[in-house]
Structure 1
């Protein structure tokens, strides 16, 4: 076979003009996104887990076009690869963005007629209602992210670790260069000229001639591509086999490793799901340890206590009378406390930073100006210290509907990253290097899109949920969601964590203040408010991650915006249809799909609206909410790695993963803890060797294959269920 030539490393400033919005890339992105969407639905309804899957989407996109390379009319470039994965991510995250794993099940399955404000309740069975609702919340987060790009990606140069990781993977496969630290990538040198060690050729550093470097680069990127693709295929096959076997032998979903009594009476068992293990690898060891702590606290201590004290006399799995529903309130208090404290500290730090930046730029020759500059430098240095070193992957990275928020994935978390210096974030516009104006999204599109999508949200909400939802409540929710999404994008850019559900819960709290108590349908109104905020933050964060990827590779922001629109429109219909398929074929809520995030959402709405609690829950909720609120405050204030107490903070559990461990059944956590252990030993084995980056990519590909295989073959199980194929 003739060797494949390395594509010419086109100048970064010229890449935006390459073909990106093509029919072939759109179809490929929609197909890949559909596969990931099915996986997200499967595990979203089971556990609340949803992921962007940026890295697998980029890999699959490259693999598809590599297979048909000889038949392509023109070359498949790195920037077209960016377009493919942008479309795929927009499709894949639809279940979370449109509320199909949390809000919609909560309204359809758990909301009482009295809470809905209607005598006959809310009817969401018609498919057209789901489509109309999805269209109403699908776009204003997308339009709002566009003006944020210049501030967070260009001026502040926030790392967006998942977006940077995806860009690196694409650059390796295509043998092209990245835009490093806001400077243009190194161009190709004359054939006989050598490069110094600090000059990158493609994604590599070399002191060889350009021809030698190209040969090595090509060999390396092809070997890595085939290795990753093979790894993805093997792990997907293993997970697929388990999925089919689990249908015929459902007993393997609940193995009583601690005895039949604990399994039957307290639901403490083990499910050896490859996808759960893969998710644990993605989350990382520290997060899964916190989750395990939550499982022990909730299911081994609080649940038996509530049952023994007759505070929850019903069966354990009874949400109303059983201990599972009882500990749910404690989980909710822990997660709300942690989220509110974290967001409060984030808001305060942002305001302080803005204040000092204003002082630093004030035209003054007196001593106060210099003090302001010193304070600003110190503040930014502390912030950089907080973000330096390895960032743990926690539930927000993989996006939990009820707790994070979580890749969504952002999820593909690979690299150590930190915020840039203050001087970099305050450059003059004339010194900012960016693609040409013709490749930007016109501001007219943004303004018209924001107004139009806001009107669409109001109209669609009124059509689907009726007059019980006042217009002022929808408008205030939209405005509030746009403001809160700025915080979410900022947090995502700095830490790879998008706290979409924490923001959703905060909007529920604010909504409870805005909407007078006793208002007809107040619970429904509260849920809708949370759904709007979550959708906005999720969409804005996903697009900003993609825009970071595109910026590093020189892609057109306009093309990526179009990719998001294409993917969102397709996902509106695909997500609505898949939700109907799942609700028609399976009992929801049931043993297989317990929709715990829906329970979290509606319990939060009831809590902030003053609905009565089970016996003794209030006291326990206050105690644990206070404890984890203080822990969150401590962790968010002590962020300087040079502080002698900083190293001990990791032993204090974070509220979000602890809450996840409490509200999900133990089988959810045990498998993920195994994944966390695998992640720990995997990273420990590779250490700081030269292949550290590629090994971490392989780890993500390995885990993604487990998730994709089981999620995709859930369709096969759905076919078996619809045909009523008997179990063994």
Structure 2
């Protein structure tokens, strides 16, 4: 708790310091009405950024399922786009409206709301887990894996489902925004960091901004051209630079190689060193040690005749051990954050009256101004209640029509409990910066799998998981955006409208970006590029909920117990040991990803960490300002090449060369 409090104070001081050095123009200093903070050029920029990042996020989601936080990158790209536009307009002899931090905040919020649906909309997890390919991979002879539990992707039902479940979440916590942001003063570290970044863009002058723009454009160009060059050598499966045996052919067979992906190098520059350390540790533990050892037991633990992707063979161990790590980490985090939430609420209630006068006296004028502007423009209570009830009723009627296996009364119960779950999640995220929406979804998954029966359990579990997860997640993201609005003097109404517009765009853009990959590439192939590992994980969690432990291969249950305990013990060690030791404890949830995917992308991301470490050693000040721009350029360049690559694949135009390495 103390660490987050200090972090909050430090970021707020930095943000307020930036505000004090802001340019003196009346347009920039004066808070505009909320209707003027939402602009046509802002919405256009949001659509463009949201579309680009939807494709990028979908690509990362379908390859590894581990998408870095792209909020900072979106805010930077919004600044680059509008600043470039205003300068072009001015050079053409026209007067351009000044670009304010409020407009920058609005664009960032709208764009993030749009591509967040590509990240968390279930296209690589619970919704894709319903398709026929995942059904076949999960084992057609598994009792709980009913042949009727199949629903192949379709643009209509996917976009309709997203529209229903995501818009309910927008209205869930609106009445509590003042309590959580102003009264309880929850820090929301991600919201604070985004606000400081946006304030910095508009206060540090053009010199740093120009360097960031140049760095972004250079890295974007290099990344795009490199992806184009690599394409020529990918004539067949397992060809090209993406299969380069960097550490030798034996290491390549165990997925340890550098695949020359600038996307993951850039992602490795954004995430913390601990994430990359956890990834490489998970890759070494699984593909370096465990899978070769279990592979030697073929004929003893599982039949020799089984296919490589059979859930009764080695693939079953890969899936269920990663599930055990995810559940152990998720359960620990769930209990920890719920406990911290309850304790924190009780302590705040006891000390609220005593501290109120002292806090009001100690607050400086800048904070009071932020709070006054944030509270002044109220979002009516009737709008929140009406919106929640209307979308809930529509969902209760329509969702069971799309998925008959999920009974209407389960949806009623879900939406009755959702606001309290959303509050707990948003409060916990405000303290810890951890959005626990997936864990609430997993709880719903197991409950629905158990109560719905073997015929309907899998579909009901996956759909119900998405329903709870979406409501809880969207409500939490909106509350983080309200924190950003408070610190950038942006109207809460403008923020809510931006979130709603972005969500509406995302309901169309996310399915479109998904079908770009689904139609052009072999999505879900465990040996291909787009493995979509979480689709199989989620379906098998649902099967586990329906069948119980009978779904596990031989001795897998004992190994699952061990990995579940390992996840809990590692988390306990991180929280209870001294900081110098705790900071090196790995993240079990992150370690689980290479169990299915392999170690190649962990190598890429570790190289990103190495670049950041070296850059800070040589020139820490320059590194701090340039790393977000460089990383964004690397991610966006290769990510954008996916568009022409998909078009070429749909047109049946294959790369002309297959570069492959074989033993001499």
TM-score, reference length from structure 1: 0.77
1:320 correspondence with 2:311: yes
Q: 2:553 aligns with which of 614, 639, 648?
A: 614
Q: For each residue in 1:636-688, what CA deviation from the matched residue of structure 2 results, as whole angstroms up to 9, or x when unmatched?
A: 4x2xxxxx73422233322112212323211121111211222333344455x
Equivalent-residue separation in structure 1 for 2:473 and 2:626 (angstroms) = 26
Equivalent-residue separation in structure 1 for 2:310 and 2:24 (angstroms) = 58
1:269 correspondence with 2:261: no
More moved, 457-466 vs 87-96 = 457-466
1:645 correspondence with 2:573: no
Cross-structure match for 1:526: 461
Unaligned runs of 5+ in 2: 1-21, 235-239, 658-664
Equivalent-residue separation in structure 2 for 1:698 and 1:495 (angstroms) = 27
Where is the helix percentage greater, Structure 1 or Structure 2? 2
Q: For each residue in 1:411-466, what CA deviation from the matched residue of structure 2 results, as whole angstroms up to 9, or x when unmatched?
A: xxxxxxxxx999999xxx99992326663321111111111222233233222212
Q: 1:66 aligns with which of 78, 83, 89?
A: 83
Equivalent-residue separation in structure 2 for 1:44 and 1:560 (angstroms) = 27
Cross-structure match for 1:442: 380
Deviation of 1:509 after TM superposition, in Å, equals 3.4
Cross-structure match for 2:612: 679
Deviation of 1:613 after TM superposition, in Å, equals 0.6
Q: For each residue in 1:502-522, what CA deviation from the matched residue of structure 2 results, as whole angstroms up to 9, or x when unmatched?
A: 332233234445x25x35311
Equivalent-residue separation in structure 2 for 1:131 and 1:719 (angstroms) = 22
Q: 1:98 aligns with which of 101, 121, 125?
A: 121
Cross-structure match for 2:219: 235
Deviation of 1:166 after TM superposition, in Å, equals 2.4
Cross-structure match for 2:229: 245
1:130 correspondence with 2:158: yes
1:111 correspondence with 2:139: no
Q: Is the Cα contact below 8 Å between 2:78 and 2:104 reproduced in 1?
A: yes
Output aligned runs, 1:428-507, within 5 Å. Answer: 433-435=371-373, 439-466=377-404, 468-507=405-444
Output aligned runs, 1:8-27, within 5 Å. Answer: 8=25, 14-16=31-33, 19-27=36-44
Q: For each residue in 1:598-621, what CA deviation from the matched residue of structure 2 results, as whole angstroms up to 9, or x when unmatched?
A: 112112212233151112111101
Cross-structure match for 1:573: 508
1:660 correspondence with 2:593: yes
Deviation of 1:626 after TM superposition, in Å, equals 1.0
Q: Is the Cα contact below 8 Å between 2:449 and 2:460 reproduced in 1?
A: no
Q: Is the Cα contact below 8 Å between 2:422 and 2:471 reproduced in 1?
A: yes
Cross-structure match for 2:243: 254
Q: For each residue in 1:114-160, what CA deviation from the matched residue of structure 2 results, as whole angstroms up to 9, or x when unmatched?
A: 98997655444442112211212221222224234323322232332
Equivalent-residue separation in structure 2 for 1:679 and 1:510 (angstroms) = 43
Cross-structure match for 2:3: none
Equivalent-residue separation in structure 1 for 2:632 and 2:305 (angstroms) = 39
Equivalent-residue separation in structure 2 for 1:360 and 1:167 (angstroms) = 29
Q: Is the Cα contact below 8 Å between 2:177 and 2:479 reproduced in 1?
A: yes
Cross-structure match for 1:204: none
Equivalent-residue separation in structure 2 for 1:469 and 1:46 (angstroms) = 29
Q: Is the Cα contact below 8 Å between 1:98 and 1:137 reproduced in 2?
A: no
Q: 2:635 aligns with which of 692, 701, 707?
A: 707
Q: Is the Cα contact below 8 Å between 2:46 and 2:78 reproduced in 1?
A: yes
Output aligned runs, 1:139-538, within 5 Å. Answer: 139-175=167-203, 220-250=204-234, 251-264=240-253, 266-310=254-298, 311=301, 313=304, 318=309, 320=311, 322-360=313-351, 433-435=371-373, 439-466=377-404, 468-512=405-449, 515=451, 518-538=453-473
Deviation of 1:87 after TM superposition, in Å, equals 1.1
Task: Tell me: CA distance 1:446–1:304, structure 2 relative to 1, closer, same or farther (3 Å).
Answer: same
Cross-structure match for 1:594: 531
Q: Is the Cα contact below 8 Å between 1:332 and 1:600 reproduced in 2?
A: yes
Q: Is the Cα contact below 8 Å between 2:178 and 2:375 reproduced in 1?
A: no
Cross-structure match for 1:397: none
Q: 1:541 aligns with which of 476, 491, 508?
A: 476
Deviation of 1:625 after TM superposition, in Å, equals 0.8
Q: Is the Cα contact below 8 Å between 1:155 and 1:432 reproduced in 2?
A: no
Q: Is the Cα contact below 8 Å between 1:155 and 1:424 reproduced in 2?
A: no
RMSD: 3.1
Cross-structure match for 1:560: 495
Secondary structure in structure 2 of the residue aligned to 1:674? helix
Cross-structure match for 2:66: 49
Deviation of 1:322 after TM superposition, in Å, equals 4.9
Q: For each residue in 1:556-575, what CA deviation from the matched residue of structure 2 results, as whole angstroms up to 9, or x when unmatched?
A: 11111111111111111111
Q: Is the Cα contact below 8 Å between 1:16 and 1:439 reproduced in 2?
A: no
Equivalent-residue separation in structure 1 for 2:397 and 2:603 (angstroms) = 44
Q: Is the Cα contact below 8 Å between 2:425 and 2:435 reproduced in 1?
A: yes
Equivalent-residue separation in structure 2 for 1:502 and 1:701 (angstroms) = 32
Q: Is the Cα contact below 8 Å between 1:508 and 1:605 reproduced in 2?
A: yes
Equivalent-residue separation in structure 1 for 2:516 and 2:647 (angstroms) = 10
Equivalent-residue separation in structure 1 for 2:503 and 2:573 (angstroms) = 39
Task: Tell me: CA distance 1:629–1:423, structure 2 relative to 1, closer, same or farther (3 Å).
Answer: farther
Equivalent-residue separation in structure 2 for 1:481 and 1:697 (angstroms) = 40
Deviation of 1:695 after TM superposition, in Å, equals 3.6
Equivalent-residue separation in structure 2 for 1:631 and 1:704 (angstroms) = 32
Deviation of 1:39 after TM superposition, in Å, equals 0.5
Q: Is the Cα contact below 8 Å between 1:332 and 1:604 reproduced in 2?
A: yes
Equivalent-residue separation in structure 2 for 1:633 and 1:699 (angstroms) = 32
Q: For each residue in 1:299-318, what CA deviation from the matched residue of structure 2 results, as whole angstroms up to 9, or x when unmatched?
A: 11111111111135578962
Deviation of 1:353 after TM superposition, in Å, equals 2.6
Q: Is the Cα contact below 8 Å between 2:127 and 2:463 reproduced in 1?
A: no
Q: Is the Cα contact below 8 Å between 1:338 and 1:656 reproduced in 2?
A: yes
Q: Is the Cα contact below 8 Å between 2:170 and 2:474 reproduced in 1?
A: yes
More moved, 313-322 vs 556-565 = 313-322
